[in-house]
Amino acid sequence: MKKIATIFLAGSVFASAFAGSAAHAQTAPPAQASGGDDCTPSAADFAALQAIQTNPDLTPAQELGQELALRKQLLGETLACAISDAQALQQSLNGTAMTGAAATVQSQVSDKLDDAVNFYNTESGKLADAGISGTEAVARDVLAWRAANYAPLEGEANNLILWSENQPLFETAQNRLTQTGRVVDLIETASQNNELQASYSAAQASLEQAGNGNAAAFAALQQFQAPNQSLTLIRQSLQTLAGTYQKFSDLNGLIQTLLPAAGQ
């Protein structure tokens, strides 16, 4: 459906440019910056604006009037898209189960997303009485605000969700270490094995390191550090955890050579 509308719109714009008729620009269907359900603006939405600006047959007054109306419409729809994005992110964030300190950070980020929606609504309200330069100023303000505030907030929210989804992996690994420790102790009661003990200690140290990285990532999230910084820490903790599993694998192999029947 979207494709059909886009083709129709592009065809209208093309016909308008080809025939040089102002009437086509006026009767062209309104551009949908929301781009349908997924709320994605497309280049086609702005082609009509270019068509008005490059149409030599329009009088200055016609061009001004059409351009202002279209700019208001496109900016309004773009802001609606931004609101939709922020609300979808907030919904995703609030839908992630978190406890303790993480829940506190979750609540703080959610409140900031509320602030973002309020900001967009305030800026939308400015469009009613704005001229062309006014709409340009609103677009510039929102663009600058997004770069300074929303982009880091979006990164923080996404990273917090990612970090939260990692926690069961760390808990599973810790449980594995505990259980494997029991097996190692059982074997050690029968006969001392230095290689087994060393392998277990290596896995234990690796998991501890991964846990420290995980804690550092959360500290970065708590302090609202730059998203790339917290994301880098999250990735590092996961890489270390993957290394821990390599050590678990080595340890498992060793245990199975000592307890061939137990691993069957």
The only residue of 166, 199, 206, 214 in contact with another protein, by rule CB under 8 A: 166
- 240 to each of 39, 71, 212, 235, 247, how far by Cα in Å? 38, 50, 10, 9, 11
CB of 110 vs another protein, minimal distance in Å: 19
CB of 141 vs another protein, minimal distance in Å: 9
The only residue of 91, 172, 212, 223 in contact with another protein, by rule CB under 8 A: 172
Q: Is 129 helix (H, G, I), strand (E, B) or coil?
A: coil
Burial of 234 (0-12, 13-18, 19+ CB in 10 A): buried
10: contact with another protein by CB under 8 A: yes
Site map for another protein, 138-157, x if CB under 8 A? -xx-xx--xx---x---x--
Residues 51 and 16 sit within 8 Å (Cβ to Cβ): yes
For residues 72-88, b (16+ Cβ closer than 10 Å) or e, as one string? bbbbbbbbbbbbbbbee
CB of 132 vs another protein, minimal distance in Å: 10
230: contact with another protein by CB under 8 A: no
The only residue of 68, 117, 162, 202 in contact with another protein, by rule CB under 8 A: 162
Site map for another protein, 47-76, x if CB under 8 A? x-xxx--x----------------x--xx-
Residues 78 and 43 sit within 8 Å (Cβ to Cβ): no
Tell me which residues in 173-192 interact with another protein (CB under 8 A): 173, 175-176, 178-180, 182-183, 186
262: contact with another protein by CB under 8 A: yes
Which is nearer to another protein, 26 or 232 (by Cβ)?
232
213: contact with another protein by CB under 8 A: no
DSSP class of residue 36? S
Tell me which residues in 12-31 interact with another protein (CB under 8 A): 13-14, 17-18
33: contact with another protein by CB under 8 A: yes
The only residue of 27, 40, 104, 122 in contact with another protein, by rule CB under 8 A: 40
Tell me which residues in 78-137 interact with another protein (CB under 8 A): 78, 81-82, 85, 135-136
Burial of 41 (0-12, 13-18, 19+ CB in 10 A): middle
The only residue of 29, 101, 235, 257 in contact with another protein, by rule CB under 8 A: 235
Residues 6+ apart with CB under 8 A from 162: 231, 234
Q: Could you tell me which stretch among 11-19, 22-30, 100-108, 194-202 binds another protein (CB under 8 A)?
A: 11-19
Tokens 């994605």 correspond to 40
DSSP 59-90: -HHHHHHHHHHHHHHHHHHHHHHHHHHHHHHH
Neighbouring CB atoms inside 10 A of 14's CB total 13
- Count of residues engaged in binding another protein, rule: CB under 8 A: 78
